[in-house]
Amino acid sequence: MANKETQQQFSSEELPIVLVNRLPSFKLPFQDHLLSHFHLLDPHDSPETYDSFLSRHSNSIRALITVGPTPVTAEFLNLLPRLELIVGTSAGLNHIDLSACRSRGIAVTHSSSAFSEDVADCAVGLLTDVLRRISAADRFVRDRMWPVKKEYPIGFKLGGKRVGIVGLGSIGSEVAKRISAFGCIIAYNSRKKKQSVPFPFYASVCDLAANSDVLILCCALTEETHHIVNKDVMVALGKQGVIINVGRGSLIDEKELVQSLVRGEIGGAGLDVFENEPNVPKELFELDNVVLSPHCAVMTPQSFEALLELIVTNLKAFFSSKPLLSAVSIE
């Protein structure tokens, strides 16, 4: 990505200060790029204890980046009385205590628009794979079974399938655009009905499931959406039903999902996320109607470039007192 900035005019001490909040196992992506714009403070790079580092710098920290799923709790916010902005690097926000942010007047930016197209591509790829048994067939051929077994089950048509999208935000909308081109019929569930959207709205996920052949989960994980896909929803979806999850593992009651799949009570699943990553229920490894993905729906170089641009733009806007590009409206 071309660095569009001119020569930096400030020394590192004069660049705006940004705290890096990260779990030790997570590295800050694009650190070099960010260093040319901001003075990064990272407690893990200091020999001091974490708390001592934070309290020494707390008065100068107005903005922080929280890396991946690194949590931001109310207790943590208490250590940073001058904090006004949290920039998240992941599509989800469930690791940030949003109501604590609201009550302290702290703005939060999300990064989902950087990823929406790639996540949508992955969701459609998983759906095509499950319906047409692409990975299962690939295994069949690689196991050298084609000359031996000759017969192999064929997959199902996409056109005419009723696809229920759970969460019609930026990711859900990109999914809808792609799925329409395959001739699927789209309906959705969202917190609120969206006025300008031509697809039928269902107020409950269960009703959506009852009227769908496929559910694609694209919504955020919140208290309300935790286990929103439970046994009732799966029963409503039915024995031919397929679930695709590119949101968060805990949107689905995973234990129930595994049982339903093992017992043949739903038709199949394509899963990029799980309740306890990187652990995946072993029963799923035995199933041919399931496609498993190691939480990489966002993972393309292009989406990372878009993410860097979004992070830098949001931080620069903040430090110039300009409007943020992707602020979360915390209701």
Partner 1 sequence: MEHHRERSDHRPQDLPQVLIIRPPPVFTLFEEKFISSKFQFLKAWESTLPLDQFLTNYAGSVRAVLCSGASLITLDIIRLLPSLQLVVTASAGINHIDLNECRRLGIVVTNAAAVYSDDGADAAVGLLIDVLRKISAADRFVRHGLWPAKGEYPLGSKLGGKRVGIVGLGGFGLAAAKRLEAFGCTVLYNSRKQKPFVPYPFYSNVYDLAADSDALIICCGLTAETRHMVNREVMLALGKQGIIINIARGAIINEKEMVECLVQGEIGGAGLDVFENEPNVPKELFELDNVVLSPHRVVFTPDGFMAACELVVGNLEAFFSDKPLLSSVMDE
Binding footprint of partner 1 on the chain (CB under 8 A): 117-118, 121-122, 124-126, 128-129, 132, 134-135, 137-142, 144, 146-147, 150, 152, 154-160, 177-178, 180-183, 277-280, 285, 291-294, 296, 299-304
Other beta carbons within 10 angstroms of residue 271's beta carbon come to: 24
CB of 117 to partner 1, least distance (A): 5
Judged by beta carbon, residue 54 or residue 241, the one nearer partner 1 is 241
CB 36 within 8 A of CB 5: yes
Spell out the residues 6+ positions from residue 138 whose beta carbon is closer than 8 angstroms to its own: none
The answer to whether the Cα torsion of 76, 80, 83, 87 is positive or negative is negative
Judged by beta carbon, residue 56 or residue 149, the one nearer partner 1 is 149
Spell out the residues 6+ positions from residue 198 whose beta carbon is closer than 8 angstroms to its own: none
CB of 322 to partner 1, least distance (A): 28
- Please name the helix (run of DSSP H) or strand (run of DSSP E) that holds residue 85, with its range, or none: strand 85-88
Full DSSP string of 203-259: SSHHHHHHT-SEEEE-PPP-TTTTT-B-HHHHHHH-TT-EEEE-S-GGGB-HHHHHH
The DSSP call for residue 169 is: S
Backbone angles phi, psi at 163, to 5 degrees: -110, 120
For residue 202 the two structure tokens come to: 């269902």
Q: Is 82 a catalytic residue?
A: no
Largest CA distance in the chain: 71
Q: Which of 248, 265, 286, 331 is catalytic?
A: 248
Other beta carbons within 10 angstroms of residue 158's beta carbon come to: 19
Spell out the residues 6+ positions from residue 16 whose beta carbon is closer than 8 angstroms to its own: 37, 38, 39, 62, 63, 315, 319
Q: 């204890």: which residue's tokens?
A: 49
CB of 30 to partner 1, least distance (A): 14
CB of 137 to partner 1, least distance (A): 5
CB of 156 to partner 1, least distance (A): 6
Judged by beta carbon, residue 75 or residue 143, the one nearer partner 1 is 143
Judged by beta carbon, residue 34 or residue 246, the one nearer partner 1 is 246
What is the SS3 assignment for 62?
A: coil
Q: Is 248 a catalytic residue?
A: yes
Q: Which of 5, 48, 75, 277 is catalytic?
A: 277
CB of 135 to partner 1, least distance (A): 4
Q: Which of 178, 295, 305, 309 is catalytic?
A: 295
Judged by beta carbon, residue 84 or residue 288, the one nearer partner 1 is 288
CB of 214 to partner 1, least distance (A): 13
Judged by beta carbon, residue 100 or residue 292, the one nearer partner 1 is 292
Apex 133 CA angle, 185 and 240, nearest 5: 50
Judged by beta carbon, residue 159 or residue 323, the one nearer partner 1 is 159
- The residues assigned a catalytic role are 248, 277, 295
